[in-house]
Amino acid sequence: MRIVIDFGHPAHVHYFKHFIKEMTDNGHEIMCFARERYPIQELLNAYGIEVINRGRGSNKLVGKALNFFRVVWFIYYHSRKFKPDILMSFSGIYTTFAAVLLGAKAISLDDTETASKVHSVCKPFVDLILTPECYKLDLGRKHVKFPGTLDMAYLHPNRFTPNESVLDELGLEISERFAIVRFVSWQAHHDAGCKGLSPDSKRKLVTHLAAKMKVFISSESELPPDLREYEIKIKPEHMHSVLAFATIFIGESGSMTTECAVLGTPNIHVRHTIDPRLVPGVHLYFKNHDVKVLCEASNIDGIIDRIDTMTDHDFARKQFIPAHSMLLAEAIDLTAFFVWFIENYPRTRDEILSPDWSYDRFMV
C-alpha cells in the first residue's frame, strides 16, 4: 500500500506518528507533506518522519484561497511518480482534491464542526470521513464515527507513558505543583470571529496562579515583556509528558485541553462562548464526562474561582481520577484501528459501514 499524509497542524503529527511507524514496519510506503509552521517540522524531525515542506500558507482570506490551489497542485506534482493508493489528512481540504487528480482514494479525519464549509466542498470527492462519535454533524453515507477521540491515536495508554525526566528540563521535582497556561493566536480558519483572554485578564490569571505554584506559559504569539519570565522552554515532543504531570492546565487551546482530559490532568478550556450550540462535540464530550471545564474568556473571576476549586488537594482523588477512568474505558486504541483499517482497505470500508459493525476488538 502506498499512502500520502499531509500535516497542517502540530496535532496532526501526533494523530499519524504511530500509524506511520507501524505501517512502514509492515512494509507499506508512505510519503508525507507538511505546512511550515512551528513546531510541525520540529516534531517530525524528533520522530524521524521524512517530509516534503509545502510552505507557510497565509492567514488572510484571499491568501488562503490562492494557497488552496497551490498546495493541491504541489501535493499532486510531488506524488504522481509515487502513485499513492490513499491520501490521508485532518480535514482533507488539500489531499481530497489531490487524490482526484491522482486517481486515488481520499480518507479524512475530523472533529471540528465549525469547518462545515470544508466538509461541504470535500464531501462529493472524499471516499470516507472518520470522526469521533461525539461529532455533532451527520455527513452522510461516507461518514463513520468511532468511540473516543482523535487524541487516542497517541495518548491511549497503549501508546503513551509520561516520562518523569522531562521535569528536569523545567527545574521541577516530581511532587512539585505547577500550572501550564496556553494562549493561542486566533488565526486559524475555524477561529474566525473568536477571541480569547484580554491582556489584563491574562496578567490577572498568571498572577493568581503564580501565588499558588510555579507557572509556565506556552503561547503562539509573542508574550508581553512582563509575562516572558513564565514562557516555557522545552522540546515540543516532551510537552505531553509535562501536561501529564501538571497540577492544572488553563488554556485557550482546544487541542491541549482535550489532551489533558485524556492524560488525566485537571483542565480549564477558556473559550469565547460556552453555549452548547456553539461548542464542538468533542469538547462537550469531555465536559459531560467531567474531565474538562469550560469557561468564558470574559469571565476571568469565574475562571479564577474554578482554579481554586480544582487545585484543592482532594479534587483529583475524589472527582477527576474516577471520571478519567470511565473515559478511558469507553475509548479505542485508535492507531490499532487505523492500521487494520488501511492495511485491508477497501474491504474494511464496507465492514465498518455495515449496521452490525463493532469496535470491541480495539478496546483496552
Does residue 358 lie in a domain region?
yes
Q: Are residues 144 and 199 in the same domain?
A: no
pLDDT at 62: 83
Q: Is residue 161 part of a domain?
A: no
Tracing cell 478496546 back to the chain, one arrives at 363
166-207 per-position pLDDT tens digit: 999 999 998 899 999 999 975 554 444 456 799 999 999 999
Q: Tell me, what CATH number does 305's domain have?
A: 3.40.50.2000
Write out the residue range of the structural domain in which residue 206 sits: 166-329
Does 136 lie in the same domain as 228? Answer: no
The reply to whether 289 and 337 lie within a common domain is no
If asked whether residues 354 and 275 sit together in one domain, one would say: no
Q: Give how many domains the chain has, as a whole number.
A: 2
What are the helix (H) ranges across the chain? 10-25, 40-46, 61-79, 93-102, 116-122, 166-169, 199-210, 239-245, 254-263, 281-288, 300-310, 313-315, 321-329, 334-343, 347-353
Instruction: Indicate whether 295 and 341 sit together in one domain.
Output: no
Asked if residue 94 is part of any domain, the answer here is yes
323 and 343 share one domain:
no
CB neighbour burial string for 307-341, b if at least 16 within 10 angstroms, e if fewer: beebbeeebbeebbeeebeebbeebbbbbbbbbeb
Is residue 240 located within the same domain as residue 342?
no
175 and 146 together in one domain: no
Backbone angles phi, psi at 90, to 5 degrees: -80, 130
In terms of domains, do 254 and 233 share one? yes
* Alpha-carbon distances, residue 348 vs 1, 83, 229, 273, 352 (angstroms): 14, 21, 51, 39, 6
Is residue 32 included in any domain, yes or no? yes
**The model's pTM:** 0.93
Q: Mention every residue, 6+ apart, whose C-beta is less than 8 A from residue 199.
A: 224
Nearest-CA neighbor of 206 among 239, 177, 230, 178? 230
Q: Are residues 86 and 176 in the same domain?
A: no
Blockwise average pLDDT, block size 10, the chain, 364 residues: 97 98 98 96 97 90 88 98 98 96 98 84 94 95 95 97 95 94 70 71 97 96 94 96 97 94 96 93 96 96 95 81 92 97 96 93 88
Residue 174: all three cell numbers together: 516530581
At 297-346, the pLDDT tens digits run 999 999 999 999 999 877 877 788 899 999 999 999 999 999 999 999 99
Q: How many Cβ atoms from other residues are within 10 Å of residue 247's Cβ?
A: 20
Query: In the prediction, which pLDDT does 194 show?
Result: 54
